[in-house]
Amino acid sequence: MQGFLDDVQNNRVDIVMRFLWLLPLLLTLSQCAQPPRKPAPQTSPPPLEAAPPQQSLQTAIQQARQRGDWERFILQSEALWQLSSDADRAAIEVAIWSQLRKLPPESRAHLSESPYLQVRAWVDLVDFMNAKTCCLQQRAQDLKWLYPRAIYWHHLLPALTRAPTAPRHVAVLLPLQGRYAPVAQSIRAGMIKQLYSQRIPQLQLTFHDTSSRERLQKGYAALLSTPADAVIGPLLPENIAWISQRGMLPAWLLNDRINGYGYSLHYTRSNEIDMLVAWLHALGARRIGIFSEQTPSAQRITQELMDTWMQTPSHTAIAANYDLNPRKIRYTFDHLLHIDLSKARKNNLQYTLNHPLAFQPRPRQDLQALVIATRPKIAAVINPLRAFYGLKTPVLGTSLLMHESLHTSAIATRDLKHIPFPGMPVLLNPDPYANRLEAYGADALWLSTHPLPKGTCAQRLTGRLGFDEHGDLTRRLIWLQYSSDGSITRTGDTP
């Protein structure tokens, strides 16, 4: 046992000695070794800053506009509207409106089939504002009923239908001298009568002569030095062209617009053709005759009526025009009614039988209505001929049957009885106006001092007045006729 212990002891000493021999080597190695690196702290990259919702929507709106994706353009714009301030909301409504009204009709028709109510609401709004009729209150109520939550009710539509502020200074540009002086003087007289009837003492009305280019330039310079709130005129197309190139105040033009400038209050513009066509339809007519004088106004009415009437394939219109020679009036009228052919048949039969024959001309029977586009003096010749020939065909007149003077004697109108024609309401109660041009001037001044909101109209001296989407006057006439005593009465809108 002791021997075993001695061996173990000797072995332990031997192990310790070996360890002591290796100890310096281990210490040296431990001093040369690099300390282990600590792992680097895990740091995540800074988070990307998210774009604001408004910015994202604005980008999407711009992209939709560039692609022509108008459905998405509307939807994204309305989403942006929900996140915007009140002032920005008004701007968004205007932006949508401005873009959609530029689209062609086929693009709007495609949008009208959108499954989104918001999109259809905007399409109907554009159609509503583009409507040519002046009385749109009922359609506005329909819009309110169909789309009560449409965003354009907040700012856009109230602004579009709000009446402008009435002016306090109205300048009038008229050719008060020269060839057109009688026309200008009548218009001026009507404005002055309207001014006194309105009884607005603070309204200043000034007239500037435009009978020459020098006078026009002088009047224009006066307007630059003393600006007016509204300008009526000019009357002549060449003066309108000159004014429109200089960016003057928007004017109430007394003729057609040029270069989209101003509002047109054209004297002859009305719904007369629509009235005539509606009356002819109510008669059940398909084949009509038109007896017309060869003057610009009569030829314009004749051509417009024929173009409108012939749009229906089953309709036919036969026109007979006579020149200003009075001896040609009856000849032309007889030719239209085939009276000359009836006389020729009578002469041939009388020659064959070699015996005088009692003869009553027989007018053609294929015409279902006759329209007379003549002045009252000529119509007064035609109307008795109609009775002489026993013509049962309904006869209509045009607005040319209105006398220029509003105080015509009964003697001058007794042969015009029972011919219905489209006319101005002032003929029923003309005082204090002497002629239709005075009534026209009074209406021009009234419109300039009572600007009509979009979609509204007003019953005035020359008709029911309003404006279409282009800034052109719309005038609805009424049906009138001369009675047996020569007075003018109103008749129904249909036969």
Highest mean pLDDT among 138-142, 168-172, 300-304, 377-381: 300-304
Q: Is 97 left (phi over 0), alpha (psi -120 to 50) or beta?
A: alpha
Mean pLDDT of 453-475: 84
What pLDDT, on the 0 to 100 scale, is given for residue 400?
94
Highest mean pLDDT among 228-237, 247-256, 375-384, 432-441: 432-441
Residue 443 has pLDDT above 70, yes or no: yes
Residue 286 has pLDDT above 50, yes or no: yes
What pLDDT, on the 0 to 100 scale, is given for residue 476?
94
What pLDDT, on the 0 to 100 scale, is given for residue 137?
58
Q: Output the pTM of the full model.
A: 0.68
What pLDDT, on the 0 to 100 scale, is given for residue 336?
76
User: What is the rounded distance in angstroms from the CA atom of residue 463 to the CA atom of residue 424?
Assistant: 5
* CA 35 to each of CA 23, 25, 31, 38, 42: distance values in angstroms, whole numbers, following the listed order: 20, 18, 10, 9, 21
Residue 254 has pLDDT above 70, yes or no: yes
Other C-beta atoms within 10 Å of 164: how many?
Answer: 11
What's the start-to-end Cα distance of the chain, in Å?
A: 152
Residue 13 has pLDDT above 50, yes or no: no
User: What is the rounded distance in angstroms from the CA atom of residue 395 to the CA atom of residue 280?
Assistant: 10
What is the length of the chain? 495
Side chain identity at residue 274, one-letter code? D
Range with the lowest mean pLDDT among 160-164, 181-185, 377-381, 421-425?
160-164
- With pLDDT > 90 as the criterion, what percentage of the chain qualifies? 31
Under 8 Å between Cβ of 265 and 254: yes
pLDDT, tens digit, for every residue of 77-129?
Answer: 999 999 998 888 988 998 998 888 888 888 888 998 999 998 999 998 888 77
**Domains of the chain and CATH, by start:** 56-160 (no CATH), 272-428+476-490 (3.40.50.2300)
Question: DSSP string covering 178-196, please?
Answer: STTHHHHHHHHHHHHHHHH
More confident residue, 195 or 438: 438
Of 271, 274, 243, the closest CA to residue 259 belongs to 243
Range with the lowest mean pLDDT among 216-230, 331-345, 348-362?
348-362
pLDDT, tens digit, for every residue of 395-441?
Answer: 999 999 998 888 876 656 778 888 899 999 999 999 899 999 999 99
Alpha helices per DSSP H over 337-435: 339-353, 376-388
Range with the lowest mean pLDDT among 32-41, 301-310, 476-485?
32-41
What pLDDT, on the 0 to 100 scale, is given for residue 207?
94
List the 458-460 sheet strands across, edge first: 458-460, 463-467, 473-476
pLDDT, tens digit, for every residue of 370-389?
Answer: 999 998 888 888 878 877 77
What pLDDT, on the 0 to 100 scale, is given for residue 423?
95
What backbone phi and psi angles, to 5 degrees, belong to 77? -65, -40
Residue 341 has pLDDT above 70, yes or no: no
Residue 142 has pLDDT above 60, yes or no: yes
Residue 10 pLDDT grade (very low, low, confident, very high; cuts 50, 70, 90): very low
Residue 348 has pLDDT above 90, yes or no: no
DSSP class of residue 427? G
Residue 200 pLDDT grade (very low, low, confident, very high; cuts 50, 70, 90): low
What pLDDT, on the 0 to 100 scale, is given for residue 309?
94
What pLDDT, on the 0 to 100 scale, is given for residue 102?
85
- With pLDDT > 70 as the criterion, what percentage of the chain qualifies? 77
Average pLDDT, the chain: 80
Helix (H, G, I), strand (E, B) or coil at 143: helix
Range with the lowest mean pLDDT among 58-62, 112-116, 452-456?
452-456
Instruction: List the structure tokens of 444.
Output: 């021009």
User: What is the rounded distance in angstroms from the CA atom of residue 473 to the CA atom of residue 276?
Assistant: 19
User: What is the rounded distance in angstroms from the CA atom of residue 235 to the CA atom of residue 180?
Assistant: 9
